[in-house]
Amino acid sequence: MPTSDAETLLIRQVREGDARAWRQLIERYEGRLIAFVDSRLRDRAASEDVVQETFVGFLTSLPHYDEKRDMEAYLFSIAAHKLTDHLRKQGRRPIDQFGSDDHGRPLDEVPGGGRAASSIARSDERRDAETRLLTEAMGVLVREWLAKADFDRLRCLELLIVKGWPNKDVAKHLQLTEQAVASYKFQTIGRLKDMARRAGLNLEHFGEG
């Protein structure tokens, strides 16, 4: 089903940086997206994080979005992609659009490996704590920027930190100056490191290289 005239107008307003239109879009689709993701994850907090990533992904792809395409189907396809990424990071089988793995089986946990040595376990625990902290801190920033409809920062976050694009490619893709992109990156990494320090963790090497 093609996008309605009302949705087309909404998309155009979001493209123009209209914060009210952005809030309307979130209000219209957030509940359905969370229900879809949570039916697979059974974890409300994780589902909300995946949906946040979905909206960020939508913003990133918006310059190339075809207005003839059904927007709800488009958002759900992004959500499915983000959900698959989330499951892979957890060591679980990715899903197809029907909620099954590539063999048609229901979602299931991949059997774990052997028991690690205590020193490796401690290292893993530390790394897991840092990963959780980083994920939570990025979630705070994403929620903040979503609320403010700060589209440029959201798009930069997706491309720089999540996808790992270099500054010059992000600048070209988003039609920003490299200086603006570098500034967004510096500010974001600085805030993430500050949040980590307050939590008693060290992310000093994050964002380097």
Each residue's pLDDT tens digit, 170-196:
889 888 888 888 888 888 888 877 877
Q: How many Å apart are CA 60 and CA 154, to the nearest integer?
A: 8
Q: What is the mean pLDDT of residues 130-136?
A: 66
145-162 residue pLDDT tens: 888 888 888 888 888 876
Over range 9-26, report the average pLDDT.
87
Q: State the chain's mean pLDDT as an integer.
A: 75
What pLDDT score was predicted for residue 110?
31
The predicted structure's pLDDT at residue 34: 92
Domain range summary for the chain, segments of one domain joined by + = 5-89, 120-198
Give the residue-averaged pLDDT of 80-88. Answer: 87
Q: Which class in CATH covers the domain with range 5-89?
A: mainly alpha
Does the reported pTM lie above 0.75?
Answer: no
CB-based burial label for 108 (10 Å; 0-12, 13-18, 19+): exposed
Q: Which pLDDT does position 33 carry in this prediction?
A: 92
Portion of the chain with pLDDT greater than 90, in percent: 5
CATH code for 120-198? 1.10.10
What is the rounded average pLDDT of the residues 99-116? 37
Segment 64-87 mean pLDDT: 86
Q: Which residues contact 49 (CB under 8 A, 6 or more apart)?
A: 86, 135, 139
192 in Cβ contact with 206 (< 8 Å): yes
Query: What is the C-alpha separation between 137 and 120, in angstroms, rounded?
Result: 25
In the structure encoding, which two tokens stand for residue 29, read together?
Answer: 């689709």
Q: Which residues are within 8 A (CB) of 203 and not within 5 positions of it... i.e. 6 or more apart?
A: 130, 133, 134, 192, 193, 196
**Whether the domain at 5-89 and the domain at 120-198 fall into the same CATH topology:** no
Of 85 and 116, the one with more pLDDT: 85
Share above pLDDT 70 across residues of the chain, in percent, rounded to a whole number = 72
